[in-house]
Structure 1
Amino acid sequence: MRSAAVFALLLATPAAAVLPDEMLPDAAQEQRARALSKDLRCVVCQNQSIDDSDAPLARDLRLLVREQIAAGKSDAAVREYVVERYGNFVLLKPPVEGDTLLLWAGPFAVLLLGGAGLILWQRRRPAAAADTALTAAEQAELDRLSGPSD
């Protein structure tokens, strides 16, 4: 019973939101459309490709991609057309350019700022007390509390 549940979870993958009425009749064109759709961001969901999103705008983008492919455009031309209309934000992997530099450098900047903050915090902490030997009275009290030594 338990292994069946684990097996079912392993087989579970996100379902593509592409509906049958969206699909192109030519299998090669449909495969191209799917490949392009996986690289385009749903501008509503933002963390999903248009192939995985069931948002109405994602459907519109999927149809737009398929129209362009059916019109005989190359993959690069379709991608360029979509970027022209929606900007680089629509790409799941935007190119490194002036307007996307923050997207690419942001995580590194946060990491560097966090590291600098940790270093500053560590330096401002009071130094740990140096290890000092116990006084005779402290040693006697420790011996008394720990019991007779064998």
Structure 2
Amino acid sequence: MNKLEFKKFCHTEFIKRGFKKIKNGYYLQGSKDILCGIFLQKSNFGELYYVNYCFHVCALKENIIPSYYDMDIDGGRITVKSKTQKDSKDLPIMTSQIEYENYSAEELAKYFDKEFKEMILPPIYQGKKYILDNLNKLYFLTLRPKEVMRKLQE
């Protein structure tokens, strides 16, 4: 898959799950005050992308779109089994570096499905309690931890 095909694949995967493209990201308003953002990040070191996702404790407002750098909670990155990187036992490693030229859409879809099911959609549908229950295990506070904790506990 080339870069254009990869970006189109990502767009389709995000849209089919209810995300909307706004500026440089994709957003989905979850239950009450949880807003999820997904952003593609091009690597400077090769033909690869990272797919970052994060959560904001706020409602989506048309005139105020939080960026990746404004996130309250770091969700992480979608990971795939590398076709080029191996561990010390010569086994493929899991990596967030998606070397899109080495994958078909069908291969990537299973990794995206797993990440959405296990990491991205639960906080969207279950809300702040899910994030609090999994804080420092699956999700991590970024800037302003006291303020974000207060918002999560409201």
Tell me the TM-score normalised to structure 1 length. 0.30
Tell me the TM-score normalised to structure 2 length. 0.29
Greater fraction strand: 2
1 or 2 for the larger relative contact order (CA 8 Å, sep ≥6)? 2
